[in-house]
Structure 1
């Protein structure tokens, strides 16, 4: 049976195989457009599309004025997610490759009042346009970007309290459970949904990857004892460099 894959996909798959098998090691230059055209008897558009596939998958990156080079895809580490993790918007511990004791985690955050989008409103079970506090986080380990996160909390729950801004006030950096407990709300569970999508230009710049490269996205929502959603967040990490590990306990 013949190979029905598009030509650009066959080229991308062959280059990916060479990278996986070490024929094109980390740091090696991907053959130029003219070399690829000659090798695969393909057009400019076809080989360009094949190289874009490699970039989007995290196998290669362009260097201005120099060409396209094989990137290091070895996992940096694992994000260990569990109920026992530090209660922060990060909600994970870090295990770096070769350093099982973890790494110091720092983060920067900013919060502003906003109107809930349709997507956020669905997750919080509120009316679109309802006031929320939107907090944007950038996490670093060993001064390297690890994770981006955006969190939304209904203003109807926190407005006028000491916890309205997650990173300010007497309960700053206490995490969702700790902060909500300070205003009499008991958070009893969190739900996470894991997916993937292409990185936006802004995400790629911060995380050190190429726009369009695959990132892992965790949609997490915290609920109180009455089943009310009190916070929801989008957590973004590079799919090629970080693994997610879940500690699932049984009672």
Structure 2
């Protein structure tokens, strides 16, 4: 049999030490340089081994702090379903309540942002047309579990009370309810999930290692007339969250 790559051998050794309580839950691991020196491997090998264990939920990265032995942490379940669009609340908060957690989020909105080519294509507009861009960090019991970036065509909501997704009387009501407030009926959404590795920015926001596994969902809401009214990139860490799709059956 071919010999295991060095990072897999190191991952097995780190996993063994954790199982034998050399490092306890919540304890910070030595630096990559220290681990590399002890096991006579380069820091890149240590990084790959740690990223593998983070993706498996054995370790967790904390932005600007280091790598720690993961404490028992139930994976947060996100249910994706048209049946869960609420008329008076957030589906995220509903999911968190079902899990016995406090759901909240932080956001930052920028108006009149030129649409890059890929976003313009998803919204059916011309590249460079103005959009309202909102970035979100979703929290479960104050721990980050999801980040997303939302784009809405500026000409759709300009001059209305819902131009800022997290401002005004309809703040935080969600896309469906906000659009309804200006007479736009959202009929359906299309989602495209795919696994990939986290970017450095995503890893920092989510408290995971760069290149850890995440699920990236490209979601677009459409009006009854078929116009895209919002598109978003939703990113959740695979080690901490699971995505479940609920398919309503209409008889």
What is the TM-score of this pair, normalised by structure 1? 0.79
Q: Mean Cα displacement is larger for which, 207-216 or 236-245? A: 207-216
Cα 1:208–1:166, aligned 2, differ >3 Å: closer, same or farther? same
Cα 1:216–1:94, aligned 2, differ >3 Å: closer, same or farther? farther
Q: Mean Cα displacement is larger for which, 79-88 or 157-166? A: 79-88
How do residues 131-210 of structure 1 correspond to structure 2 at under 5 angstroms?
131-210=130-209
What's 2:78 paired with? 79
Note if contact 1:85-1:93 (Cα within 8 Å) is conserved in structure 2.
no
For 1:34 and 1:191, locate their aligned partners in 2 and report how far apart those are by CA, in whole Å.
49
3-state SS of paired residue (2:82): coil
What's 1:108 paired with? 106
What's 2:237 paired with? 238
Unaligned runs of 5+ in 2: none
Aligned-residue Cα RMSD (Å) equals: 3.2
**CA positional deviation for 1:61:** 5.5
Note if contact 2:106-2:138 (Cα within 8 Å) is conserved in structure 1.
yes
**How many positions carry a matched residue from both structures?**
237
**CA positional deviation for 1:168:** 1.4
**CA positional deviation for 1:125:** 1.5
For 1:10 and 1:207, locate their aligned partners in 2 and report how far apart those are by CA, in whole Å.
24
3-state SS of paired residue (1:11): helix
For 2:72 and 2:216, locate their aligned partners in 1 and report how far apart those are by CA, in whole Å.
18
* Aligned: 1:55 with 2:55: no
Unaligned runs of 5+ in 1: 38-43
Note if contact 1:27-1:69 (Cα within 8 Å) is conserved in structure 2.
yes
